[in-house]
Copies of this chain bind each other. A is one copy, B any other.
Amino acid sequence: MRLPSSSGPPLRKLESGLDGALGTQIVSATADEVVLTLAIGPHHLQPYGVVHGGVWAAISETAASVGASINSGSPVVGLENHTSFLRAIEKGEVQAVARPIHAGRSTQVWEVVITEIGGPNRPAARPVAQSIVRLYVLGDRPDR
């Protein structure tokens, strides 16, 4: 996994795979916090015209995986992603902030909060989604 350097450029796109298809960008990433952004477009919506819940789950999974990988110094694999949908939005830009709740040797638990960003009218935006992600730290045991 090509992990971002927190001392690198301020914005780095995850260029390939699902992250590339969605347009997820890394703002910063350390062992204690990962910040991603996503500019909402038509390819993020569900048939009613609001952002598809799978987008929130996907961005939180990426954020937690990047964080747990840096934190553990090891590849990680997701075990569970529980995303709560809090508010429907149709457009704009969002920020996902991931922080570790538990950094064990075998598994880690990260919490991700996704909020709208930008615009002078949104100084303290309520979250649009929140996720709890449990990840398995790969080591000497091959499967999960």
Contact = CB atoms under 8 A, between A and B. Distances in A.
A58 B53 contact: yes
B46 A80 contact: no
Contacts of A139: 141
A61 interface: yes
Given A19-B52, A48-B1, A57-B83, A132 B134 contact: no
Tell me how many chains of this kind the complex includes: 4
Contacts of A20: 43
Interface string A80-92: 1111111110000
Interface stretch (A5-13, A27-35, A99-107, A116-124): A99-107
Given A52-B17, A102-B86, A65 B80 contact: no
A106 B86 CA distance: 11
A134 B52 contact: no
A79 interface: yes
A17 B46 contact: yes
Given A19-B46, A101-B127, A107-B136, A88 B77 contact: yes
B105 A130 contact: no
Interface in A110-140: 111, 126-127, 130, 132, 134, 136, 139-140
A59 B54 CA distance: 7
